[in-house]
Amino acid sequence: MSWKKHSWAGWGRVQSATGELARPERSAALAPLATEAPAIGNCRSYGDAALVSEGRAITMTRLDKILFFDEADGVIHVEAGATIADLARILAPKGFLPAVMPGTGFATVGGCIAMDVHGKNHHGAGSFGQHVTEITLASGKVLTPSHPLFKATVGGIGQTGPIASAKLKLLRAKVDVMMVTERRAENLENFLDLLDESEATYTVGWIDATATGEALGRGILEEGETGAGLVPPAKRGRKVPFNAPSWALAAPVVRLFNKLYYGRVPAAGRTLVKPIDDFFFPLDRIHDWNKLYGKKGFHQFQCVVPVTARGTLRSMLEAIATSGLASPLAVLKRMGPGRAGHLSFPMEGYTLAVDFRNRTGTRGLISELIAEAKAAGGRIYFAKDSVARAEDIPGMYPELAEWAEAVNAGDPEHHYETDLTKRLSLRSAK
């Protein structure tokens, strides 16, 4: 297999790497690489989780076949490079969906396992890894949930080596459309109450991260249920052709946008019928939307804090709103306890995700938010982080040392390390 020198960036485009990539086109070409380098997918992690500077990585995107579909049991066996959108598109007409779908359909199955991603149904369905019944590593090792390496692989940010394929237990549902109810939440308390009381299968909250005072934490709660019926015509995808100028997401523009976006939903709420993709992957229609942040890129901060930490969320939102750095992309969700790996992100509580333009002060603000999340007994998400320091992590991830021991035993020469694992010294944890 040939290696090619290449430069690539995380989704936030703040961090990038120059290293060597291999891209196997067939599984026969993957096996010989199994011990050499970590795998990467579509590089939708915002920070440096998919980056390997001065090293090597294996691009999995061409290995995207469905190997087997067991309709009776609702189990699908897929190669790790298959995307979630691809699976959803193929499965929906057959009466199935991936049980957990992250916010972008471009995420690969391998990436979803490595990050143990969650979706808008986490409070009910748990994390992605909880629906994985078997993982085949490129080395040939087959891991079922009882295998000791399973919990090190799920959420294991690629450190047990490339995943070749996986079996997923699917959700059986006749889904043509999503029935979506949108309701206003006037402030943070109201928002958190609505999230707690929601009985919907899928919920997600858009939060106005620029609102202050009485309106602090206001937003829109979206509740979705799968539905059958006429499919509204899909809108054509658009592409962001160039980097946006720096004023495009300046504070006054964002405040105005957020105000209009909030006001769009009537005070009494409304119910809409949406195509599946529009509800689950709202941003995927705009290809390369990360260019909207301009050349300097952006950071995303995502944390989860326990349900008792409402005060922490309030103080975080105050800091965010007064900073003038927030973008319109900010999400608040309720999380259940479901998680499947040692380093899985989810915990019972509230998760807050906010995008920030990369400007003076952004890193400092995110550092403060990380400290607050940690102090509240919460944690940050490796798929998003680009700012944390090594000392921030052990308290957030109690099983870190156990994980490090398992992956170091399998990879004593540290071939699978990435820029993320090095920056946070994850594999040195004791």
Partner 1 sequence: MNETWILLGATSSMARAMARQLAGEGANLVLAGRDMADLEAQATDLALRGAASAKAARFDARDAATFAPIIDAAETLAGEGPINCAVFVGSMPPQDAIDADPSLIDGTVTDSFTGPARFLQMLAPKLEAKGKGLVIGVGSVAGDRGRIGNYVYGAAKSGFATYLSGLRNRLGRSGVHVMTVKPGFVDTAMTWDVEGMFLVASPAQVAAHMLKKGRKGRNVLYTPFFWRYIMAIIRSVPEPIFKKLSV
Rule CB under 8 A: say whether 247 interacts with partner 1: no
The answer to the question of residue 261 lying near partner 1 (CB under 8 A) is no
In angstroms, what is the minimal distance from the CB of 243 to partner 1? 21
Q: Out of 7, 18, 25, 124, name the contact with partner 1 by CB under 8 A.
A: 25
28 binds partner 1 (CB under 8 A): yes
- Residue 366 φ/ψ, nearest 5 degrees: -65, -40
- Of residues 29 and 273, the one with the C-beta less far from partner 1: 29
CB of 33 to partner 1, least distance (A): 13
Handedness of CA 197, 200, 204, 205 (dihedral sign): negative
Which residues within the stretch 114-133 sit at the binding site for partner 1 (CB under 8 A)?
A: none
Is position 4 an interface residue for partner 1 (rule: CB under 8 A)?
Answer: yes
- First-to-last CA distance in the chain? 36
As measured in angstroms, the least distance from the Cβ of 6 to partner 1 is 10
Cβ neighbours for 180, distance < 8 A, ≥ 6 positions apart: 222, 223, 224, 271, 272, 273, 274, 279
Q: Rounded to the nearest 10 degrees, what angle do helices 310-323 and 188-197 cross at?
A: 130
Q: Per rule CB under 8 A, is residue 9 in the interface with partner 1?
A: no
- Specify the residue, 90 or 248, whose C-beta has the smaller distance to partner 1: 90
Question: Given the complex with partner 1, which of 30 and 188 has the nearer CB atom?
Answer: 30
Segment 40 to 79, residues that bind partner 1, using CB under 8 A: 62, 65-69
Question: % helix / strand / coil in the chain, to the nearest 5?
Answer: 30, 25, 45
Q: Minimum CB separation from partner 1 for residue 93, in Å?
A: 9
31 is a contact residue toward partner 1 (CB under 8 A): no
Figure out which of the listed residues 2, 214, 230, 268 binds partner 1, where binding follows CB under 8 A. 2
Of the candidates 24, 124, 37, 19, the one whose C-alpha atom is nearest the C-alpha of residue 79 is: 24
Whole-number Å distance between alpha carbons of 414 and 30: 19
E-assigned strands of 127-162?
A: 132-137, 142-143
Please, where are the H alpha helices in 31-187?
84-91, 109-114, 122-125, 150-153
Positions 133 through 172 that interact with partner 1 (CB under 8 A):
none
Size of the site for partner 1 (CB under 8 A): 16
H runs (alpha helix) in 100-203: 109-114, 122-125, 150-153, 188-197
Residues that bind partner 1 (CB under 8 A): 2-4, 23, 25-29, 62, 65-69, 90
